Amino acid sequence: MTRPLRVRFAPSPTGHLHVGNARTALFNWLLARGQGGTFILRIEDTDAERSTLVSEKSILEDLRWLGLDWDEGPDAGGPHGPYRQSERLQLYLSYARDLISRDKAYFCFCSPEQLEAERQAAFAASQPPKYSGRCRAISFDDASKRIAAGEAAAIRFRVPDARDVTFADIVRGDVTFNTNVIGDPVILRSDGRPAYNFAVVIDDALMEVTTVIRGEDHISNTPRQVLLYEALGFEPPQFAHLSLVMGPDHAPLSKRHGATSVAEFREQGILPEALVNYLTLLGWSPGEGQEILPAAEMARRFELANVSHSAAVFDTGKLAWMNRHYIKEADADRISAMALPSFLKRGFVAHETDLARQYIESLLPLAIGSVDLPSEIADRVAFVFDWRLDRAVALLSAEAEADGPRVIAALAEELWPLGPLTKETFRAAAGRVKDKTGLKGRALFHPIRVALTGLDSGPELDLSVPAIDRGAMLPSSAGVPPIPSCADRARTIADKLRG
């Protein structure tokens, strides 16, 4: 009988959520949501020195931000809790005792120094390190006496000799390891903390996980886990090991490639829907040549069998392109809120007000479509706030702008009597400048652009000019330092060029 689909994401709370782990969480989520399964979040916090609650909180926050909701977990609860390994220590202990009682595990008294010496010897002989089995033959009675006398003991799993262990990996096909290369692993440390391989098996079994999707860095752990399932009498899950996320140099994505954590991408201004969409394509494709689709549709189409086993290279350029797409799709008030800090930083807005926010929102059409990040919007519209007479004059005085002064004199005259310009009143005024000067096309519009924006190039004047004049009309309560109007700009330059 097939069991109802249950998957899990099992982060260790030892730092921020890496995008590689976020992609593992996402593939679990896609499968669960697409197939009506259950998505479990389990916190693997048995490494007491490295695990922190702060990091657990930040991982949960990042998952929520990405929209990857879970059905069972430390906060959500559920019928198979607790969902934090540190709260399950008694369970691990009882299963370890059970293995001991059936001679499938034994007490190990080796000191850290002895084990280190074994590792060094293996290293010197160019052999993979493997536990020597020194304590394998100690009888239960002898071991109990030593423990009663105060000796510290770990518990090791007795790996059967010379056997092939094969598991069917959904992504990679059949994977086989011979037990001869596997030393007896510690399953419970002398302080009572379980080893990863042991806790993960007990938890996945008791939480009735049917499909384990995780990074391929765990593939060499899997035969140990398969043997433990067997020894404990549990039905093993299906496994799917995802290829690791690499940098462009095909080394695992790390700090030296730039941002690696979900938090860093969020701080940069990557939208969650862009990151999710991008991560979905790291090793999988929805088909039909499509790349941009909502997560729910991706989930509907997602199949583990179609996940590629080749390395997934993280392409920040493509992520940026995707972000640009989602910025265009997003609600304007959301993007302007994200853009606001860079306006404050550049002094374009002195303090946050509703009017300032609305004004920035009204500027978005000038920038959207040409920015990868909301923080770039302030740069695109800097000419509105940061118009400089000297820069405009320098550009207009260039040889190529021989007609510039004539155009600007006429423009200043035309704009002077007008109120704040709209697209229509600006076009009409430009038409009259054209009639007066006999100039058209670039000879007409380039000097106008330079005079009003102080720049050689930029967004369409039809949009830029009304935007400047809307800014010039803002009351001081808007918290936006004064913006000179187009008429003021034209007149100041005309005076300067004449003088």
Number of residues that bind ligand GLU (CB under 6 A): 7
Give Cα separations from 203 to 40, 59, 82, 92, 322 (angstroms). 11, 20, 10, 9, 37
Identify whether the C-beta of residue 95 lies closer than 8 Å to the C-beta of residue 202: yes
Q: In the stretch 25-64, what mask flags binding to ligand GLU with x, by CB under 6 A? A: -------------------x--------------------
Contact between 412 and ligand GLU (CB under 6 A)? no
Before 185, cis peptide (omega within 30)? no
Q: Which of 104, 145, 255, 496 is catalytic?
A: 255
Contact between 12 and ligand GLU (CB under 6 A)? yes
Give 10 or 490: the residue with its C-beta nearer to ligand GLU.
10
Which of 218, 391, 434, 436 contacts ligand GLU by CB under 6 A? 218
Q: Which residues fall within 8 angstroms of residue 59, CB to CB, at 6 or more apart?
A: 11, 13, 16, 17
Annotation says 255 is catalytic: yes
Contact between 169 and ligand GLU (CB under 6 A)? no
Contact between 10 and ligand GLU (CB under 6 A)? yes
Binding residues among 171-200 for ligand GLU as defined by CB under 6 A: 200
Binding residues among 227-286 for ligand GLU as defined by CB under 6 A: none
Containing 105, the helix (H) or strand (E) segment is: strand 105-108
Give Cα separations from 116 to 103, 112, 119, 474 (angstroms). 26, 6, 5, 72
CB 461 to ligand GLU: min, Å: 54
* Cα–Cα distance, 247 to 257 (Å, whole number): 6
Stretch that binds ligand GLU, among 6-14, 253-261, 440-448, 463-471 (CB under 6 A): 6-14
Contact between 372 and ligand GLU (CB under 6 A)? no
Here the tokens at position 139 are: 């009888």
CB 212 to ligand GLU: min, Å: 6
Helical spans, DSSP H, in 454-485:
461-472
Give 63 or 450: the residue with its C-beta nearer to ligand GLU.
63
Identify whether the C-beta of residue 437 lies closer than 8 Å to the C-beta of residue 410: yes
CB 202 to ligand GLU: min, Å: 12
* Closest by Cα among 86, 66, 497 to 278: 66
Binding site for ligand GLU (CB under 6 A): 10-12, 44, 200, 214, 218
Which residues are known catalytic residues?
A: 255
